[in-house]
Structure 1
Amino acid sequence: MRDIFPIIPEPKIFVFGSNEAGIHGAGAARDAVDHYGAKRGKGHGLHGRSYAIPTKDRNLQTLPLPDIEVYVKHFLMFAEAHDDLVFFVTKIGCGLAGYDAVDIAPMFKSRPANVELPEEFLTIIEMEDLK
């Protein structure tokens, strides 16, 4: 059973895990196409009210964590440069890509204030800060 994502109010941007080919056939990627203007064939970046962060390659194989982290860093720079927008991040990489939240959440530690994270990511980041 997949997560069902609530419809987020405008003007928030729905941030989801994608594949580099931009197929967007399942999970949050499918929701991004159906509700937030994600474009098939566009595997990363802002499209409509969605922002794609690849967690799988063009052949739908899970990307290594360092590759995902590069895409996350690009996203965080984009979010910082667009502080007039608010970004709602889903648990990217934790569904079809197969990673655990503890693998992905720390990538968002240096996020700007306009990036909202899932509660589980926030808890992991807080626990990391206590170490």
Structure 2
Amino acid sequence: MSRKYTPENITSLEPDDVFVFGSNLQGLHSGGAARVAYDKFGAVWGQGVGMQGQSYAIPTMQGGVETIKPYVDRFIALAREWDQNTFYVTRIGCGIAGFTDEEIAPLFDEAYDLYNVRLPKSFADIIERNRNTRMHQQED
């Protein structure tokens, strides 16, 4: 299977596509992908979580990685249910929030296998590497 990734710069979406971006709980979409979501894909000022227009907000500014995980899990549950949509996950948390790809990518391990979720290539590469490492450790 040929894996598809989230493009670096998304400027338009098909009708059933959803732009997944990192937000803050206050929904102040001032910069980064949040600003793109607000300007182009229907993100609502003052809404920091969930579906809004053709975008989906995952808050990343409220603490450590452990505070992001429940929101990612909620997103993955929605993506499973809304299987007619294609979700383009941006490098959430890796800009203004200051996390690394290595910290955030593992949160999306369950999304990796969903045919309707596109991850950034950096996230997918980390998930693949982690899975290979776990597999080899189990073999030893």
Q: Does 1:129 align with 2:131?
A: yes
Amino acid at match of 1:117: L
Runs of 4+ residues deviating >3 angstroms: none
TM-score, normalised relative to structure 1: 0.90
Q: Where do 1:70-109 residues align within 5 Å?
A: 70-109=70-109
Once the two structures are TM-superposed, the CA of residue 113 in structure 1 deviates from its matched residue by 2.0
Partner of 1:47: 52
Amino acid at match of 2:47: K
Partner of 1:34: 39
Higher helix share: 2
* C-alpha contact 1:16 1:52 (8 A) present in aligned 2: yes
CA distance in 2, matches of 1:88, 1:115: 6
Aligned partner (choices 122, 125, 131) of residue 120 of structure 1: 122
**Per-residue displacement from partner, 1:56-100 (whole Å, max 9, x unpaired)?**
13xxxxx21111011000000011111111100000000000000
Please give the secondary structure, in 2, of the residue aligned with 1:109.
Answer: helix
* C-alpha contact 1:38 1:50 (8 A) present in aligned 2: yes
CA distance in 1, matches of 2:45, 2:9: 19
Once the two structures are TM-superposed, the CA of residue 49 in structure 1 deviates from its matched residue by 0.3
Q: Does 1:64 align with 2:69?
A: no
Q: Does 1:21 align with 2:26?
A: yes
Q: Which is greater in Rg?
A: 2
Partner of 1:6: 10
Q: What 5-or-longer segments of structure 1 have no aligned partner? A: 58-62
Number of aligned residue pairs: 123
Once the two structures are TM-superposed, the CA of residue 114 in structure 1 deviates from its matched residue by 1.0
Amino acid at match of 1:6: I
Please give the secondary structure, in 1, of the residue aligned with 2:126.
Answer: helix
Amino acid at match of 1:68: I
Please give the secondary structure, in 2, of the residue aligned with 1:56.
Answer: coil
